Amino acid sequence: MKEICTKTKKELAKSFETDLESGLTQEEAQIRLEKNGRNELPKGKVTHWVVIFLKTLLEPLQLILLAAAIISVVTSLVASNWEVSGETFVDFIVIICIVIIDGVLETVQEVKARKSMDSLKSFTKPHAIVIRSGLQQDIDASELVIGDLVVLEAGKYVPADLIIIEASDLMVDESILSGESVPSLKTSHHLAKETAILADMKNAAFMSTFTTAGRAIGMVVKTGIQTEIGKIAESINENDEAKTPLEKKLIKFSYWIALAALVIGVLIFLTMFLKGNSKFWPSYLMVAITLAIGVIPECLAAVVSISLSFSTKRMARENVIVKKLASVETLGSVNVICTDKTGTLTVNRMTIKKIMENNEVLDSNAFLKKTNSSQRELFLQSLVLPNDSVTQGKERIGDPTELALVDFAELAGLDEQIAREKWTRIDEIPFDSERKLMTTVNNIQDKPTTFTKGAIDEILKVCDSIFINNKIRKITEEDKRIILKQADDLSQEALRILAFAYNTNYDKTKNKAALEKNLIYLGSVAMIDPVRASAVEAVREAHEAGINVVMITGDHATTALAIAKDLNLAFSEYEVISSDRLEQMSDLELSRIITQIKVFARVNPEHKVRIVKALQDQGNIVSMTGDGVNDAPSLSKADIGVAMGITGTDVAKQASDVILTDDNFKTIIKGVGEGRNVYQKIRRAITFVISVNLANVLAIFILSIINDASPVEATNILWINLIVESVLAITIGMGPNDYSLMKIKPLTGKHSLFEGLWKPMFKICLFSTGAAIAGFYLGMSFTPAEFYEGKDTWYLFLKDQSTSLSERVRVMSFGRTAMFIVMTISPCFYVNLIKLSNWKANPKFQFNPNVPLVFASIFAASLNIIVLFIPGLNDVVLMLNPIEYWNAHNWYMIIEALGIAMIPGALILLTDSLVFFTYHHLPKSWERNRRIAFEMVQNDNKKKVKKTNSVIEKDKKNN
């Protein structure tokens, strides 16, 4: 495109074989359409839901579960001497159901997110006015071909990449591509030299940008995939989807679990085979494989998906649409947010902030409160009469600068449509980029009145009087010096200045140039695209959460720095880099200073990708927010891309992982909080599941070595893993959020999924193993003597190698039952006590119960008690005591077993309370000194920020 911009009109006509007057013929256009294809953007890859579902089954954790299901069938057949019965497939069916449910949940979520994204599409404008064979035609924009002449008018989207060959005050909003908030003036003059910066290509209009004012004719030079927006869209479609940090950690975790299961299975089988009776090897194999399966957290995949699914629903209510479940956790890991300025941090609407009149600067709100006067009335008329913008309801057509003027006039009580009907326009001189002025003549109470607006220096050149303090007098050089000084000071704050003048000496017989002479200066306005009020608060919250916010914009450095100051994001020019300096820096040089820069100005799309990469190379988890096409490559490159749902383009939404339906920067901070919480809940679930599994395996292993027989059956383990753990672990993700997590810094760099979990896991495993062993011996103490007739104790009976397998199962019935009660009931209690929250941050204990988990605990505990008394299920399937074994002399064994089941929870509660009390109320001297020093540093930093803000405010007032 940069080479084409330097060609003259004749060179363009020759290169593209087009008549500059009549355009292409219909026949030639059809030939080119068939040759080059339709003018359409490449569509993103759409994966069928069946493929999505099948992919979920190929994930490592799911493959392990499928293998476990198959092994469960094989072991059942080995144990039953290859006799097939209904019980053979019970374990298989349960595991397969879990795998399918998990796959369905993930598939449904991804399809729903895709539909939500499709419903947000409002970007395509498919029609264009084209000149063919000398006639104007309204055609489908997809039928445009290279060489077509396209007519552009205010309020129309540019349908392809064009070179302007005729222009009349054409203004194009290129914010979606260049990032600039102010529309660009386009001309038909070819460029003297090539430029790579899109915003500097003043004779080019790019596909999907928006014309705000004027009229033009442009020649199509690129269509579809060859356009600037098409190239970006294609690069996004070609990108392979990177795995999120959570996915990577779960894959790694799956491999470790598989290895641990294999080692434990082999170890247990060899130990029991060598120590026991070799004729019982099928039983030993069954125990070994069952315990190996017991190590694998069958419910974990479902827990992760359901936790993420609940979070995505909560986030949808907060205006955040997540396209992929695992992206929620990535959002919580973010420690750098690269954000676009226009429409993200700012409201994307020019707004008047200051009024210059009577040789003083007023806040816009102070002006609105002023009483009405002839001077005020004329000033408001000058805002809306030399103005071509139109507002009606939500419809807003025109230059953003002119729209800002009518918005302000409406706040002051003057509606532009009513004003234009009342004071009709009888003459005008359109805006010209060389004059930098626009003039209209309006009939004010039957008296022609001239109104002129434009650049303040040009206005002052044509003024010989000034309206000041409701009086008109000659303007002096001192007046002009004061006005220009005020304008210069406001420009330093990145405010755009527009001045206004009038007179009543209209003479239609004179040359129009006379309209812009001997004017009376009325005043000026200073405007800017202001920051969102919520964005200021969001940036503060991000900093508190340890997240660095970096602003990347296409605007000039002065404007960008002014906005950054309002956001408390940057305070000096040393924290700002423009694209010209960025171009001269090597990747190594950029990497050295990247953490010091808060604002990147005047950037191109490739610069954004380079910035994101430099941050990632420093070990950061980077989020990129944006709405324009220019943001799409960096959205795709970032660890988590966040697109705007209202103003965002289709390309940006396609490239992103997350879409904000309210275009509010603050919403992403809510998403970060949700991401941190869901990751914490997943870690709690992992802590619970792995601890319970290891405790069970360890208890069974120890008792098997001591007694030469497994204390429980395979069905007992699967009942605990698939029923008890699943019910409890899944509801962990339904609990309330811990907002204190947004007060700590995120973990950066590589860190294990188990970081910080080893202590609670060890504690749970230790207490649970001890309780399970105690439960077994409690139950064995209730074993009737006739069960081990011929031996003095049940222990000697088990040690006798001549005892059959059925006799061993019968003699351990009471021990198995008591151990089953302890192993199933104790998790229902201590699962509510597994807290991985930021408890160090608050010295006060906060009770915030997980209600769904409490009810799930009650349900699971009740179910485990009830199952003891269901005939067939208790004795045939689970090998527990049949009902006839219970009598008046042994029923209280159940009560005693329940008491033992409470011990792990009580010990966990006691140790956690001691640690909490010791940390907050009995700190060691070095720890207390460190905390005091930390608080002093924080207080000093707060004072510095206050002082800096105070100085800035003083400077603003003094100026």
Cα separation, 410 vs 403, whole angstroms: 11
**Burial class of residue 195, CB neighbours in 10 A (0-12, 13-18, 19+):** middle
Q: With beta carbons less than 8 A apart as the criterion, state whether 553 and 603 touch.
A: yes
Other beta carbons within 10 angstroms of residue 361's beta carbon come to 17
Considering only CA atoms, which of 922, 811, 819 is closest in space to residue 864?
Answer: 819
Q: How far is CA 346 from the centre of its chain?
A: 18
Considering only CA atoms, which of 103, 637, 652, 64 is closest in space to residue 325?
Answer: 103
Cα separation, 512 vs 509, whole angstroms: 9
Task: Give 467-470's long-range contacts (Cβ < 8 A, gap of 24+).
Answer: 467/375, 467/378, 467/520, 467/521, 467/522, 467/523, 468/357, 468/358, 468/359, 469/358, 469/375, 470/373, 470/374, 470/375
Q: With beta carbons less than 8 A apart as the criterion, state whether 130 and 149 touch.
A: yes
Cα separation, 542 vs 848, whole angstroms: 24
- Quickly list DSSP for 652-703: HHHH-SEEETT--HHHHHHHHHHHHHHHHHHHHHHHHHHHHHHHHHHHHHHH
Question: Would you state the structure tokens that stand for residue 369, as one six-digit string?
Answer: 């409160």
Considering only CA atoms, which of 89, 63, 62 is closest in space to residue 75?
Answer: 89
Cα separation, 352 vs 367, whole angstroms: 11
Other beta carbons within 10 angstroms of residue 20's beta carbon come to 15
Residues 6+ apart with CB under 8 A from 771: 822, 826, 900, 901, 903, 904
Other beta carbons within 10 angstroms of residue 234's beta carbon come to 15
Considering only CA atoms, which of 698, 692, 709 is closest in space to residue 815?
Answer: 709
Active site members? 340
Question: Would you state the structure tokens that stand for residue 67, as one six-digit string?
Answer: 């293998």
Apex CA 552: angle with CA 622 and CA 486, to 5°? 150
Other beta carbons within 10 angstroms of residue 218's beta carbon come to 26
Considering only CA atoms, which of 703, 688, 685, 717 is closest in space to residue 824?
Answer: 717
Other beta carbons within 10 angstroms of residue 914's beta carbon come to 11
Apex CA 269: angle with CA 266 and CA 274, to 5°? 120
- Quickly list DSSP for 328-354: HHHHHH--EEEEESTTTTB-SS-EEEE
Question: Would you state the structure tokens that stand for residue 451, as one six-digit string?
Answer: 């109104």
Residues 6+ apart with CB under 8 A from 134: 21, 22, 23
Per the rule left: phi > 0, alpha: psi between -120 and 50, beta: everything else, 23 is left
Cα separation, 442 vs 424, whole angstroms: 5
Residue corresponding to tokens 């002009």? 480
Residue corresponding to tokens 């300025």? 341
CA distances to 30, 466, 512 from 478, rounded to whole Å, are 66, 12, 30
Q: With beta carbons less than 8 A apart as the criterion, state whether 250 and 753 touch.
A: yes
Other beta carbons within 10 angstroms of residue 865's beta carbon come to 14
